[in-house]
Structure 1
Amino acid sequence: MDGRMTLRLLMIAGLALALSACGGFREQLGMNKQSPDEFRVVSRAPLTLPPDYSLRPPEPGAPRPQVGTSAQQAERAVFANSQTPAQQQTAVPRTAGEQALLTAAGAEQADPNIRLIVDRETKRINAESERFVDALVFWDAQPPAGSIVDPVAETRRLQENAALGQSPTTGPTPQIERRRRAPLEGLF
């Protein structure tokens, strides 16, 4: 019965291994649907209203003025400066309606250290979830490494010392040496 069970487990493991290799078969045949990445299709500057309408009409085939040269595009990509100076927005004063809305929402009393508070709370929540996951994954508690007295051998030693009329402290105390177990030891 034990040999049959082992054979079944080996067959199931082999079948699982064989089926796991079939994942790329559709891709190799070109049957997978591959949609384009919407963020990499075309790089165009956003449409904006001109500051005044006294602009000259665009020339066909001329490069767009918002795009810039390839060196400027590379500089924006490397230094993460995605807006040209003309596109950078200046601070606009709030209207009376916006100010009333912010006051009603309590935005004026917002804590300036809110990011520090949120980070602290997030770290605490993450630490609690890590402890929970560790309790699930490492459910078998490790006994502390070290040595303890072997009770059976110690009882035998004490009885022998008493029968021979010797002191109970005569002879070495038998000990059990504990070692740290491997993570998967005892599962198989």
Structure 2
Amino acid sequence: MTKMHARTRLVLALTCALLPLALSACGEAKRALGYEKQPPDEFQVVARAPLSMPPDFGLRPPTPGAARPQEGTTRDQARRVLSGQRGVTPIATEGRSQGDLSLMKRVGADSIQPDIRVLVNKETQSLADADKNFTDRIVFWRKPDPPGIAVDPSKETQRIRENQALGKSVSEGETPQIQRRKRAWLEGVFN
């Protein structure tokens, strides 16, 4: 009877130990045990802007023929043209009706910047350079070798003196160089 009693206890203990594991596979049991997150429903959450009064009720529609404040004075327009802030490119009138020209002027096609391609290329290049610099720092984490060839100054001075003593040209002979040794794969990683 003791063997049967011990076996029953063992089965009961194993069942109690494995029951949470077995139930955790069920969706409802996961939710009940707190294993599954319950985020709020994004369609139920609504943010509403606070009610506010407009700052000025005195704003009126523009009168026809009145000066536009966004254009500025003639003096300001001349200053912008002279400083090169905005160029004016004439609209090609060949094969266009008066309606087409009027529409193009209305959308601002007559005041496009003539060197826009240069400006876009410059901005794009600066973004690409910044991105490349970041990528290079991540991929090539070592400091780059200095550009050019490193000349050994003491040996070069000796070579020039020997050439002068022998009456040869200073540029004759090979220039002694400092040979940089190859770095090991993990050299400098932990420094």
By percentage of residues, which structure has more strand?
A: 1
Which structure's relative contact order is higher, taking Cα pairs within 8 Å and 6+ residues apart?
Answer: 1
Under TM normalisation by the shorter chain, which class is it?
under 0.3
User: What is the TM-score with the length of structure 1 in the denominator?
Assistant: 0.28
Structure label with greater radius of gyration: 2
